[in-house]
Amino acid sequence: MKIWLLLGLLLMHEALEDGQGKEREKFGGHAVRQPEQQEELGDGWLSLGKAVKPLPSGARCLMEWMVTGQHPPKNKRPKEPGENRIKPTNKKVKPKIPKIKDRDSADPTPKTPSIMTQMMDKGRFQKPAATLSLVAGQTLELRCKGNKIGWSYPAYLDTFKDTRLSVKQHERYGQLTLVNSTAADTGEFSCWGQLCTGYVCRRDEAKTGSTYIFFTEKGELFVPSPSHFDVVYLNPDRQAVVPCRVTVLSAKVTLHREFPAKEIPANGTDIVYDLKRGFVYLQPHVGHQGVVYCKAEAGGKSQISVKYQLLYAEVPRGPPSTTILASSNKVKGGDDVSVLCTVLGEPDVEVEFRWTYPGQKDERPVTIQDSWRLIHRGLGHTTRISQSVLSIEDFETIDAGYYICTAQNLQGQTTVATTVESS
């Protein structure tokens, strides 16, 4: 290393001597001393005392190698004295734009954010999951953002006008509170914003929220039923549901026939199990008739549901099929007369009746009695017969005329008429 150092110094000395000789020739053989330098020395300058001499490129490279131990890059030309280290460039640099990951790229339809929140302990709120499990007895409080909120909750709470449930509308949110919850309260709780014009409101599909809540109660694996035996009607044109719902999310549920005793498999093609509805018959037929029940198992315990009678109904869905018949079309004064309006329909479809009769404007006293019953027509076919009877005592002249019966169900209405004359 010492040899290389000495060699370097020798080369530097020769370079300086060579530079001074050239200066003497240029200025008449006299050496010219450089003025004192006050500013900072640039790259490639060597200070010897107060004289500052530019180094030849070869010596400068050797000097750099001795100090840093690295060779200068070969692709760079040596800098001249006073030359800037950084040169402006005209190269255009394309700015890099960070890529934003599209979270919804797999789902082309964006999901609407829920407007529902659940009141937690210590005044905290959080958005409820699609399904929740709560212990019976807990208080449930749900809020939905909006100044006009509609609510939906298990029909059990609405049917019995339960005082445990309260629904309030505040300035900025709707509030649903359920105290002393029970297993029977298990079901879907949902809310939605309303768009109103005057007194007419419609549902705002962009502002909704829902959650299905399991209220777990000791000794109750199934949602309690108001009766010990229920009827499910099988229609060939729509699904039928055996509504044995559970209160425990992890419960294993199976469907069984009472006679002959066997398990009915939910194979996913003919029968499926829906956690929120029960066992669904996708294409009901006559062979599905009979008495069935459900069995639930959870936490090492098992329980049997109420029994369900499956009845096949052959009458298609539609407006009421209505007939009208008078006990007599010619009546003497003082006699009694009755007019019968009859509807044959589906077993689970209710029918309402309305009457128009001659003495109605004069407030003629009449008696109207409505009733219905199921009739079995063989091969397991079941039909509902609904009837309305209008009776008049002591027939008078003002009672003569047209008797009009209008029967209505969810699918429409049918009007029939007959005449009763005075003889």
DSSP 178-192: E-S--GGG-EEEEEE
Write the burial class of residue 312 (CB in 10 Å: 0-12 exposed, 13-18 middle, 19+ buried): buried
Question: Given the DSSP bridges, would you call strands 307-312 and 352-356 parallel, antiparallel or unpaired?
Answer: unpaired
Mean pLDDT in order along the chain per 10 residues (423 residues): 63 60 49 45 45 52 52 54 51 51 44 86 87 92 93 80 87 93 92 87 90 92 83 83 91 91 87 92 87 91 90 74 90 91 85 93 91 69 85 91 93 92 86
Query: Quick one: pLDDT at residue 315?
Result: 60
| Percentages of the chain per state (helix, strand, coil), in multiples of 5 | 15, 45, 45
Strand partners, 324: 341
- Distance in angstroms (rounded) separating the CA atoms of residues 311 and 305: 18
CA dihedral 152, 157, 160, 162 (to 10 degrees): -110
Query: Quick one: pLDDT at residue 45?
Result: 46
What domains sit in the chain, N to C, each tagged with a CATH number?
Answer: 2-35+42-68 (no CATH), 116-216 (2.60.40.10), 229-312 (2.60.40.10), 321-422 (2.60.40.10)
Query: Quick one: pLDDT at residue 4?
Result: 61
Query: Quick one: pLDDT at residue 309?
Result: 87
Q: Judge whether 331 and 420 are in contact, CB under 8 Å.
A: yes
- Distance in angstroms (rounded) separating the CA atoms of residues 364 and 394: 11
Segment (H or E) for 232: strand 229-234
Query: Quick one: pLDDT at residue 44?
Result: 45
Query: Quick one: pLDDT at residue 35?
Result: 45
Query: Quick one: pLDDT at residue 190?
Result: 94
- Distance in angstroms (rounded) separating the CA atoms of residues 367 and 358: 14
Distance of CA 393 to the CA centre of its chain: 60
Q: Judge whether 211 and 116 are in contact, CB under 8 Å.
A: yes
Question: Given the DSSP bridges, would you call strands 307-312 and 229-234 parallel, antiparallel or unpaired?
Answer: parallel
The amino acid occupying position 186 is T
Query: Quick one: pLDDT at residue 42?
Result: 46
What Å distances lie between residue 328 and 153, 325, 358, 360, CA to CA? 50, 8, 16, 20
Query: Quick one: pLDDT at residue 19?
Result: 55
Sign of CA dihedral 8, 11, 17, 19: negative
Number of H helices, E strands in the chain: 3, 28
- pTM score, two decimals? 0.54
